[in-house]
Structure 1
Amino acid sequence: MDKVEGAVAKIQGLSATRDDWASLSQQLETTATPEWEPAALDAVLSQLEPARHAVGCSYFLSARAKLLSGGDGQDEAFMRHARRLLIEGDAEQLKFARPKVQEICDVFTLMCRRSGNAMYGIRALREGVRKVAPSADHLTPLHHQLLLLSLLSKCFNPALEVLEGRVVRVSKEGMQARDVLLYIYYGGMVFAAVKRFDRAFDTLQLAFTMPCHALHEIVVEIYKKYVLISLITHGEVVALPKYTTPLLQRMLKGCCSAYHDVATAFATHKVDDVKVSLAKHQAVFTSDGNWGLASQAAKSLYGRNIQRLTQTFVTLSLQDIAQEVSLEDGASAKRKLLEMMARGEISASVDQEKGMVSFEAARMGPGEALTRLTEQMRVCNELNERMRVVDETISSSSMYLDKVAIQERQSRWGEPADWVAHGASTDELMDVAEKPPGFSASHGAR
């Protein structure tokens, strides 16, 4: 007990100022280790207050986490301490001890998944995201952990709050490429789960803009969902951005043949062809956890074919519409039309007595148009300001200035091309060759 009381006294005496935190962290690096018995670590944590002693709590709870990371069980005491730290902990101290907090959250998220109670961790991780991130613009590993638990618990509002924020900064400290990719992957899944397919498409597309020199399995999984969501939103597989690395351009096309087969069938605009292709590859889609999304892509073809009819016909009977788009009967066509009208996808009127549909040009009231224009201008101005800041940061960086000087010298004096720095070095590129632990479907990643 003397050891426990000594550790508690040390933490309580060095928790007032940032200088105290620095001194405390140096001492705890060698004293707060997994060599402690779990009961002793719990005894220390039980006597500390996260609102005042978050740095000390983080070090001892991190040691507790290391005792659990290699096992396959659950620990209610650890989960309780971790949740309390994230919810009650002082934000500045948690930022100071961010590497330790991230270690804690890795194990905490794993425990929530193992317990089958993902909801237990959502509030804690939401507070953790707010407190640990250097700013509201920064991405942290806690972001994708929150998104994962939201998906597992089907509690999407906390995830949507995070995704609606404009995350534009990625700190090198404590971040890996897999953290960014998982944020993109789970973010796209959240938007797809709430039927916001346009946002899901935009989110997933970000994965193909990252620099890389190896194909990551998460990128492959993202691409599979990207193909299906692209069919839903655009009616075709949208080409990857032109700034996608040639490596990804080459390798992604050859590793998802079943998905491209469905896309080829989709291009015929024939529902029966798509159904045949889906049936042919059902085992693949089911194994990938994408059968539900593939089925939604097939159903979206009905609506897309109806939209094509609006470009050709002004008036058409419900029965003719059903025949043109391969629906069962006029009643099915009517239900589909009403659904599309409610979502604002088409503008039409239905004559119930005659069973006729009149397609109309989309109309927007002046107030709605002004509101939409104002919002778009606000977003553009905000983006312009962010780009200005980024441009100034890059223009003043020593790496950029050195590169420009080398290129100017090469252009002026005709130096060999291999003297010129073309982009980031191999060491600077994000290494995305590693598959993250626990990414299999059995762990809820799909």
Structure 2
Amino acid sequence: MESMEALITQIQGLSGSVEDISHLHNLLKLTEESLQSEAPRLASFLGQLDPAKQSLGYLYILEAYTSAPISREQPSEFIMSVSTFINSCLAEQIRLAADKFVSVCKRFKDQVVLLQEPLRGVAPMRTAVQKLRSSSEHLTALHPDFLLLCLLAKSYKTGLGILKEDIFEIDQPRDFFLYCYYGGMICIGQKHFCKARELLRNPYIDLANSYSSGKISELESCVETNKEKFESDNNLGLVKQVVSSLYKRNIQRLTLTYLTLSLQDIANTVQLNTPKEAEMHVLRMIQDGEIFATINQKDEMVSFHEDPEQYKTCEMIEHIDSSIQRIMSLSKKLSAVDELISYDPAYLAKAGKERQRFDFDDFDTVPQKFNL
């Protein structure tokens, strides 16, 4: 206990400057075994530290404390303690012990899932992701856990915010696979099918290819063929929404060809059973702003109109400018990655081995930088 009191004093005194924190980090590494042995008795020491100022020391003690089995009476207290720490800790300190921060957050995720209260974990886990990553382009080990909680809590829009960010740095391949899997399901739930296609693999790619054909019969056949896989993933309901959306897409295509069309013709063209079904689809699409049209109930005719957006508003100009800036930024990143690869020893070694397969004159011995 005396050694713990001394450690607390050191944490309190060495959490100011960068040099002090670096020295403290070295001391904390030496105390890991003793902290683990004291795990059940560490709660009282946490109360002596300020997680907003002494984040690194607090994290080491919290990680050791949470490594002990949690009794049935403790989960809510545990969740509250970790949530408070996540919200108040300093990002620059917890990144020094990223593995311990990840460990604490994963136990936190396990507890909210065990209590069947995933919504309690969504906001803290989102904060944890933001504090752990070095930039919005960095995929951390906590991204999959955050997306899983969003799925379980049906908080799809919250998860979608993270998925909209471009990823260029990945810690572990497994984290990326889970990120794509959970992210794909969230995108399907929000009807962002193009993004879902980017994230998911076969049989989901087969589903996407069938969808792009525009043929309902082909899409339904693909769904039936892979039904067992979709059911095992608990995605069959979402896949059925894909089938429903193809009807909408085919109706949208009609607006490019026709000015007016009867409900019966729409039903026949997009393979709906009755004109009434066609009418319901058209009405929903008009309400959602997916097409611009009016229905003459007397003649059962649909008149398609031009998009009223003239692309002259300030909002639209800002949107276009933002897209241009994003593309320019991506171009610079690709150029930087290309340059890094061109000088990477592993790449050069592999290129050297491949050289034997070609004539020497086919090779440019000087790595090139491509400007996109």
Q: 2:300 aligns with which of 349, 355, 358?
A: 355
Query: Once the 2 structures are TM-superposed, how far is the Cα of residue 361 of structure 1 from its aligned partner?
Result: 6.5
Question: 1:326 and 1:119, CA in 2 relative to 1: closer, same or farther beyond 3 A?
Answer: same
- Give the Cα–Cα distance (whole angstroms) in 1 for the partners of residues 130 and 115 of structure 2: 25
- What residue is the counterpart of 1:389 in the other structure? 336
SS at match of 1:350: strand
Query: Once the 2 structures are TM-superposed, how far is the Cα of residue 7 of structure 1 from its aligned partner?
Result: 2.5
Q: How does 1:206-221 map to 2 (within 5 A)?
A: none
- Give the Cα–Cα distance (whole angstroms) in 2 for the partners of residues 83 and 384 of structure 1: 39
- TM-score norm. by structure 2 comes to 0.81
2:133 equivalent to 1:186: no
Q: Deviations over 1:274-301 (max 9, x none)?
A: 6687678756543331220222133234
2:281 equivalent to 1:336: yes
- What residue is the counterpart of 1:207 in the other structure? none
Is 1:231–1:297's contact at 8 Å kept on the other side of the alignment? no
SS at match of 2:145: helix
Counterpart code for 1:76:
S
Q: How does 1:123-272 map to 2 (within 5 A)?
A: 123-170=123-170, 175-204=171-200, 222-229=201-208, 231-232=210-211, 234-235=212-213, 267=215, 269-270=216-217
SS at match of 1:16: coil
Q: Deviations over 1:20-61 (max 9, x none)?
A: 333333333342346434441212222111112111122122
Query: Once the 2 structures are TM-superposed, how far is the Cα of residue 392 of structure 1 from its aligned partner?
Result: 2.8
- Give the Cα–Cα distance (whole angstroms) in 2 for the partners of residues 27 and 318 of structure 1: 76
- What residue is the counterpart of 1:286 in the other structure? 231
Is 1:150–1:156's contact at 8 Å kept on the other side of the alignment? yes
2:97 equivalent to 1:97: yes
Is 2:206–2:222's contact at 8 Å kept on the other side of the alignment? no
Is 1:61–1:78's contact at 8 Å kept on the other side of the alignment? no
Question: 1:130 and 1:348, CA in 2 relative to 1: closer, same or farther beyond 3 A?
Answer: same
5+ residue gaps, structure 1: 205-221, 237-266, 415-446
Is 1:98–1:132's contact at 8 Å kept on the other side of the alignment? yes
Query: Once the 2 structures are TM-superposed, how far is the Cα of residue 413 of structure 1 from its aligned partner?
Result: 6.4
Q: How does 1:397-416 map to 2 (within 5 A)?
A: 397-404=344-351
SS at match of 2:302: strand
- What residue is the counterpart of 1:75 in the other structure? 75
Query: Once the 2 structures are TM-superposed, how far is the Cα of residue 112 of structure 1 from its aligned partner?
Result: 1.5
- TM-score norm. by structure 1 comes to 0.69
Q: Deviations over 1:60-80 (max 9, x none)?
A: 2222333349x9996334333
- Give the Cα–Cα distance (whole angstroms) in 1 for the partners of residues 204 and 245 of structure 2: 15
Is 1:65–1:103's contact at 8 Å kept on the other side of the alignment? no
Is 2:36–2:65's contact at 8 Å kept on the other side of the alignment? no
Is 1:201–1:230's contact at 8 Å kept on the other side of the alignment? no
Q: Which moved more, 1:367-376 or 1:328-337?
A: 367-376
Question: 1:303 and 1:42, CA in 2 relative to 1: closer, same or farther beyond 3 A?
Answer: same
- What residue is the counterpart of 2:112 in the other structure? 112
SS at match of 1:136: coil
- Give the Cα–Cα distance (whole angstroms) in 1 for the partners of residues 6 and 317 of structure 2: 66
- What residue is the counterpart of 1:438 in the other structure? none
Q: Deviations over 1:367-424 (max 9, x none)?
A: 278666544422321211211222233334343445555656875669xxxxxxxxxx
- Give the Cα–Cα distance (whole angstroms) in 2 for the partners of residues 320 and 284 of structure 1: 35
Query: Once the 2 structures are TM-superposed, how far is the Cα of residue 311 of structure 1 from its aligned partner?
Result: 6.5
5+ residue gaps, structure 2: 362-372
Question: 1:276 and 1:150, CA in 2 relative to 1: closer, same or farther beyond 3 A?
Answer: closer
SS at match of 1:97: helix
Question: 1:315 and 1:107, CA in 2 relative to 1: closer, same or farther beyond 3 A?
Answer: same
State percent identity of aligned pairs.
32
Is 1:74–1:111's contact at 8 Å kept on the other side of the alignment? no
- What residue is the counterpart of 1:19 in the other structure? 19
- What residue is the counterpart of 1:49 in the other structure? 50
Question: 1:357 and 1:58, CA in 2 relative to 1: closer, same or farther beyond 3 A?
Answer: same
Structure with higher RCO (Cα < 8 A, 6+ apart): 1
Count of residue correspondences: 358
Counterpart code for 2:45:
V
Q: Which moved more, 1:87-96 or 1:28-37?
A: 28-37
Q: Which moved more, 1:341-350 or 1:374-383?
A: 341-350
